[in-house]
Structure 1
């Protein structure tokens, strides 16, 4: 008998685009990008079981070897894709569909509403399903999937070395006036 796993499906392009366009208003510097190893660690701690991280990336002509090597060193399985259309979305959707036949839990790292049907199908009560991203930019269709746990990439996962310039609704129990003075 094998131990139950959490599969982490990372839509890195979506996270990078949201970080750049919506949070920073510019292309993120390398030190401003998420620490992807922390995402794996968080998932393992949060759900108390081993994780398998799949990092999906679109590749034009050559493999970005330094990034691929870094992903491998962190424990991810890189999934480099090439073709017409939204290859990362297609691959994540197919992977999520395939996971329905496995006894495994799933965390999606993306804000994209294109994955709502797959997350709805996975959230069938037999597994834990989570979404990870910036809460204020999460597609309402993803947030609205019953039974899905949400994790904020900055506040819950703590995937960044520095505080990001975000404006978010703060629950009063979490309000710290020192952060505004």
Structure 2
């Protein structure tokens, strides 16, 4: 009886212990004014203001324009008058120095816009789970860069769309896939 009890306890202990987690490298983000904040996916507050199902807010679509000339169509995509999508390389989520100008431009437009939903998107390579996590890392890195540019964290909502909402879906070419590795900004009421 003692052997069975010991075997059951050992089996339960083995089943409930976790595997080692892969260490994720982080990249600090430097704003245009020289302020440095932790970037990448360092795990700190990674899930603050996150909509885990990628469904957005429950207040309708909430899109609107403002004095900065921002506008959105029925899909929430911005036209020439405003915010620029941020595009990433394959398996990348760091905000590079080349992207800082776009981030600064977007921060200036979004500064007085109320809540902003940051959607992280991926191409179709990789598993659904991997792409969801990568989309969230892209959204988090972008949020950190906006924080460094003076946008309040209370006004930012993070959503990972993974590969579920491609910008380009007509082919599986490298050019088409590169358009799907992005972060989009949507202004909410």
Q: TM-score range by the shorter chain?
A: under 0.3
Instruction: Name the larger-Rg structure.
Output: 2
More strand by share: 1
TM-score by length of 1: 0.27
- Which of the pair has the greater relative contact order for Cα pairs under 8 Å at 6+ separation? 2
More helix by share: 1
